[in-house]
Structures are given as structure tokens and as C-alpha cells.
Structure 1
């Protein structure tokens, strides 16, 4: 059974999240990417994960059903507070051994949380097609598809903005995945333009915090990812002291394009903690 919740962050912004699965199971916090929401994961994946984990799928500030304030998107401490508010609301405290999974921009939020709060609640980190910085650091390497989408998505001309987001949605996939592909495009359109721009105007590098995290990690990346380049996945894996797990013929959304393997890899990782 899936339940919807909302909690106020430290600045009063409501942060929405969904929960599913057995509350006695290991917590799995899912952090989505830029211009998406917790709906990006899809009902099928959340249902599968609920069989093993206590799933907590969060809407980042400015996305989905969370509040979209005018500011607060350039503050790493604020992003960490958002995550902490959700974990506090669910009673995920020190020693909980939660797995924190960041997809795409969600990897930056993972780093924000680790940098500010440490890993006392965390048993493992998973990065999926993730960037961990907006800088010249190798872990922040993005492709032309992301650069074009970032610029076009804030164009004041709606036709150009919609076209940019449409191309971004198509570039997420190396294969056709039907409804899931359209869902992600719709979520991009539903994200306010000021939020799209604010997230990409940040300058942040969490490599030092991640290198010192000292918890097991899993890094998954599609070999054909043109949004966040595979080189970023390899660099982030090196930072975390693990090998990068590359998925052939997969682009930016391994959890949709290669869901069976993704679930198997995630469950195997959790079983080894």
C-alpha cells in the first residue's frame, strides 16, 4: 500500500513524499532528477521495491507536490534539511542503515546530505546516472543533450522551452519504453521554469564529502547516457571507492530501460550490507 505525506522543511517549504513497503524493512530513500518528481520511478518499480524495502520516494523542493518557493535552491544546507525532514518524519534515525539512492540531479542532493549530516543514518549510497557536482569536476560531466535542455528549458518563448524539454525527454532513453517515456516528459513540463533554472545555476562540488563517506556504495550508469556522461559515473565510482556498473544499450534511466537488472543489482547490494 502506498501512502502520500508532506512535511515542512527548516524554511517552512512543504516537502512531499510517498511511502510503500514494510515499515520494518530497510529504508530506501529515492531522490529523483532535475525537472522530475517521485512519479518518475513509476508504479511498477515502486511496487517491486516494496517487496524488499521500505520505500520513501521524495519530491525535491520545487518539484511534484512539494512547495516551489522563489529561493532556497542554491543552498546545500537547505537541500540537506529537506532530506532530514523527510527522514525525521518517517523515524529514520541514527543506525537505521538506510540506502540513499540518487538518480541524475538526485546524486547532488545525496552529496548535500552527506556533507551536512554525515552518514549516521545511512547504510549505503546508490548513484544511478548521477551527477554529484555542478562544476568542472569529473563527477559533474554532462553531455550536449543536458546543456541544450538547460538553456532551452528557461527560454521565455514557450514553444522553444517545450521543444527543449521534448528533446531532453527523448535523449533520456536509448530504447523506447512507452508510457514511462511520456511520463518523464510530462513531469519536466510540470516543473516551474524558475525551478528549472535555479537548480542549474548552482555551483556545488560534494566530492570531498562523498570520498569520506565511508559506507558501501553502488554506482550504476548507462553506457549510452548523453545527459550525464558515463565518465561522470566512473569518476563518482572512483570517489566512492567502487567499480562503476555500466549497463549496455541503456541511456539515462536504467531503472526504466533495464528494470529487471536494476532491481536485481539493488537487491544484491542491499543483501550484502
Structure 2
């Protein structure tokens, strides 16, 4: 399987389907690029080159000893783009914590090569509840998550995926096999990377990055997302970014890639069909520093 070697020597596994305009899909915590498989197939069948990669510490990428911060994550994205040759008229699609890579890339790398962005159930712009972010998630919730992972890593994720997929009292939105896959995928991740990445998406403030979204942006978020609340994230992006358009999935949980696969694919294709060719050419000084 192909790997990109990042600037700090970490090997990042990536995969692709199809030919045409590149669409890079960034997975959420604590899964892998494989979570995008059904969407990749639909994109490839519609004439796009779908590329997905495993974040460092997850899936089949190196379990690096460091680098679990969004500056490094965005550098990894830049290195994957370079390795795959996806450097012009690129659409970036980020799910959950994957939205953070996009936000930081648009700032740190000047959005170089990107013509459209999509944030799906994304943690952008700020997850943590503070005085100036009252709709965020309390620090105590993240502390409980950390304590649960440290106490019994495997048991913690059994319960976590119930909210992630929106299990109900009478009916579940996905099969038990889907949840089993998610649990097994998580067990292949580095526990250290999982803990460090949780800290990164919980506390990173992407609000300063929002001004750098200068291309058409689609925001998709479920109104019943108990993992990443829509008021602090999807709706906040739609209010702050002039180029952003929000589609709310009424009653849907966090994992819309699985609970609303066809709808998500159709919304992505409709947005992509509006065209790229608005590619940002990064500021020459910033580009040379980040290359």
C-alpha cells in the first residue's frame, strides 16, 4: 500500500479510487481512512479522484511518538498532497477532527491548491466551553473521556460509539457490525495517539483560522450530534465564514458518513459539481516557509 513520508519522517498510508479532479477525504477520531470507503466509491463512479489517508497514529500509518497537534497534522496533509500530486483544484473534505486539518491548512499553508472545502460534523471552530464560547463542551466532559480511556481503553469505546452512531432506545441507526468495525479499527490505533489527538481537538481554537476560508465551503452537521454539538461548531462556522453554506441533517447524530451515506454523497457531489477552479495560490512567503 502506498505511503507518503512526512517532513519529520512519519509514514502516512494513503489510498485512492478513480480519476479526475482530486478530492481528499480526512477521517475522524478514532477511525481511519477506511471510514470513507463508501463515499470514495461514489466519488470515483462520478468522475473524481478520491484520496483518503490515515492520520499519524491511526490505521496503517506510523505510530509516531510525537506530532499530535494541528500544526503537524496540517503539515502532514500538505505532504500527502505533494506525494499524491493533488496540488491544484483540490477539494478538501474533513469529518469531525478532520475539519481541523482543513482549517489549519487554510491558515498555515495559505490554502495552497485548494478550490473547495467541506466540513462534515466538524470540530471547527472551537469545541471547548469558555466564557466567550458558551455553546462548547465543558472541560469536565473531556476530563471524563480521558479518565475513561486511561482506565479501560477498550471498554470506553464500546459506550462511546453508541453516541457516535446515535443509538436510540428502540432502534439503532446502524448495524451492530458497523459499530464492531469502528471498535476494531480503534483498537489498531496507538493509544497514545488516540489520547493526544483527543486533547488536540478538544482544546484547539480554530477561530483565528476561519478568516482564511476564502473558497466555497460546505458545512454539513447533524442536529442531534451528541459528540460535536452543532451550535458551537457547524452553525458557528456558517455565521463566521462568508463563503460557507450550512446543510443541517435534522435528527442525525455525529457519524453521518454511516447513517446518511447516500445523502452525504449526493450533497458532496452537488457541491463539487458547482465547480472548483477557484484555487488559492498561497502567499509566496508563507508557501516557501511551509513547503
TM over 0.5: yes
Residues 179-230 of structure 1, C-alpha deviation per residue, up to 9 Å, x if partnerless?
Answer: 3232222222222211111112334222222223210000000111100001
* Cα distance between partner residues in 1 of 2:160 and 2:138: 11
Match of 2:253 in 1: 251
After TM superposition, the score normalised by the length of structure 1 is: 0.87
Alignment partner of 2:2: what SS?
A: strand
Superposed, 1:231-250 pairs within 5 Å as: 231=231, 232-241=233-242, 242-250=244-252
Structure 1 stretches lacking a partner, 5+ long: none
Alignment partner of 1:221: what SS?
A: strand
Residues 65-108 of structure 1, C-alpha deviation per residue, up to 9 Å, x if partnerless?
Answer: 1111111113x332122111111111122xx2111111011011
Match of 1:122 in 2: 114
Q: CA deviation at 1:161?
A: 2.2
Q: CA deviation at 1:145?
A: 11
Q: CA deviation at 1:254?
A: 1.1
Alignment partner of 1:201: what SS?
A: helix
Is 2:21 the partner of 1:26?
yes
Max radius of gyration: which structure?
A: 2
RMSD between aligned alpha carbons?
Answer: 2.3
Q: CA deviation at 1:140?
A: 8.8
Alignment partner of 2:142: what SS?
A: helix
Greater displacement, 126-135 / 114-123: 126-135
Structure 2 stretches lacking a partner, 5+ long: 167-171, 276-291
Greater displacement, 195-204 / 31-40: 195-204
Count residues with an aligned counterpart.
Answer: 261
* Cα distance between partner residues in 1 of 2:190 and 2:144: 14
Match of 1:65 in 2: 60
Alignment partner of 1:185: what SS?
A: helix
Greater displacement, 138-147 / 208-217: 138-147
Alignment partner of 2:45: what SS?
A: coil
Check whether the contact 1:97–1:122 (CA below 8 A) recurs between aligned residues.
yes
Q: CA deviation at 1:139?
A: 11
Q: Which has the higher contact order (CA 8 A, sep 6+)?
A: 2
* Cα distance between partner residues in 1 of 2:250 and 2:143: 24
Check whether the contact 2:110–2:212 (CA below 8 A) recurs between aligned residues.
no
Structure 2 residue aligned with 1:180, among 174, 178, 199?
A: 178
- Check 1:227–1:173 CA distance in 2 against 1; reply closer, same or farther (3 A cut): same
Alignment partner of 1:230: what SS?
A: coil
Alignment partner of 1:246: what SS?
A: strand
Match of 2:285 in 1: none
Check whether the contact 1:221–1:245 (CA below 8 A) recurs between aligned residues.
yes
* Cα distance between partner residues in 2 of 1:244 and 1:138: 20
